[in-house]
Amino acid sequence: MLPELYHAHLSEKLTRSNYLLTILLIQVVQSIKEVTLESIATKLAMPIKFESRRKKVQRFLSDDEWDLDDIWLSLVIGWIKSSVNQNSVVYLAIDRTKWQSNNILMVSMIWRKRAIPIYWKMLDKQGNSTLENQQLVLMPVFAALSDYSLLVLGDREFCSVTLANWLREKKVGFCLRLKKNVCIKTEEELWTELKMLGLEPGNSFFNQEVTIRKTAPIEGFNLAGKWLGKYRNVTTKEPWYILTSLVDLQTAVDTYAKRFGIEEMFRDFKGGGYNLEKTNLTGDRLSKLLILLSLAYLKSIIQGISIKSKQIQEYLGRKTESHRKYARHSTFYVGLWGESWVDSMSSNWQVVVELMALSPHKLPNYQQGLRAMRLILSAL
């Protein structure tokens, strides 16, 4: 089943045929956790020949109706507005992922130590994105979330001082990691590379109203420097230099650390979830496939939230040990595999019943497990 938000939105935006096909395709992706055309066509529940199913999926991913702005952006913004308090800061991570010839620039909202994709562009070249590319993916998001306070997080690819200055003009906060060879002007009016400031493991600094970049310098930025100490007896390799609109060290460091949620999301999209890197699609078809994948991803997260609220995660994975800082399994994982577990039980119900009957002394445990199944089903 799909969340009610999906039914209301997709039925309005799509023809009846594409709406029903979307429901089937999301269910297929959730079931097989792969997104190659052949894999999807193999599982697609339609009484036509395999090649006809493959071509049907291919045509669907070429349909102009399947549009990023109309189908995904408007839906995810609706979900954000229903889930995030308007007084909250929305943290937006901008990042790029690539494999083979594909190069995707994406903006996502950091949420519960993961990221929710909002908007993306397929770059027509390899290598880093340009300021223009970055503005093209950020502007639609800024417009859609204009009711919120926004803060952009970016790694060293997005350390452009020009990007920071543009964000400042848009009245959007930022934490952008700088490369160590960027120059700042010291109190002695000398230009010094960040790596020459003498920051050592375990130490930090916070400088306000810094002048940065020797060529075409810009004034008035804050600069946070932090070299994390040992983690599990291993010294981190290099420090963070963070160009920021925030006003103190700890807030800047804690805020920048949220960026790693987008790395977890990319892992969920790839080998840790849907195996996106196995697809042979490129260009516009790949972008449209990402819409389908994002719908499936958010569906899993919505389900995971509901399942976790019922306190039955132990039926879906190992318990979190007391020494672990974070839960072993993400909300996405719980939602995705919770659906898979109950689907598997339903498909093999007669065998399961007979197997339970052979161990009557375990009946109380089985009854608890069946109750957990019913609760998971109510979350789907």
Task: Say how far apart CA 174 and CA 181 lie, in whole Å.
Answer: 20
Q: Does residue 240 carry a pLDDT above 70?
A: yes
Tens-place pLDDT, residues 121-134:
999 888 888 999 99
Per-residue pLDDT at 273: 84
Per-residue pLDDT at 175: 95
Q: Count CA within 13 A, CB hemisphere, residue 245.
A: 18
Per-residue pLDDT at 167: 95
Q: Does residue 309 carry a pLDDT above 90?
A: no
Q: Count CA within 13 A, CB hemisphere, residue 321.
A: 2
Task: Say how far apart CA 97 and CA 117 lie, in whole Å.
Answer: 13
Per-residue pLDDT at 43: 92
Q: Which of 72-86, 166-180, 266-280 has the lowest mean pLDDT?
A: 266-280
Q: Which of 116, 126, 107, 131 is nearest to 295 (CA)?
A: 116
Per-residue pLDDT at 11: 94
Per-residue pLDDT at 317: 77
Per-residue pLDDT at 170: 95
**CA-based torsion, 12, 17, 18, 19: positive or negative:** positive
Domain residue ranges of the chain, discontinuous segments joined by +: 69-265, 310-379
Q: Does residue 169 carry a pLDDT above 70?
A: yes
Per-residue pLDDT at 232: 54
Superfamily of the domain at 69-265: Transposase Inhibitor Protein From Tn5; Chain A, domain 1 (3.90.350.10)
Per-residue pLDDT at 337: 81
Residues 6+ positions from 333 with CB-CB distance below 8 Å:
304, 316, 317
Mean pLDDT highest for which of 73-87, 176-190, 228-242, 309-323?
Answer: 73-87
pTM: 0.88
Q: Does residue 20 carry a pLDDT above 90?
A: yes
Token pair in block for residue 224: 């946070």
pLDDT category at 295 given cuts 50, 70, 90 is very high
Q: Does residue 323 carry a pLDDT above 60?
A: no
Percentage of the residues of the chain whose pLDDT score is greater than 90:
51
Across 356-361, average pLDDT: 91
Q: Which residues pair with 105 in a beta bridge?
A: 96, 121
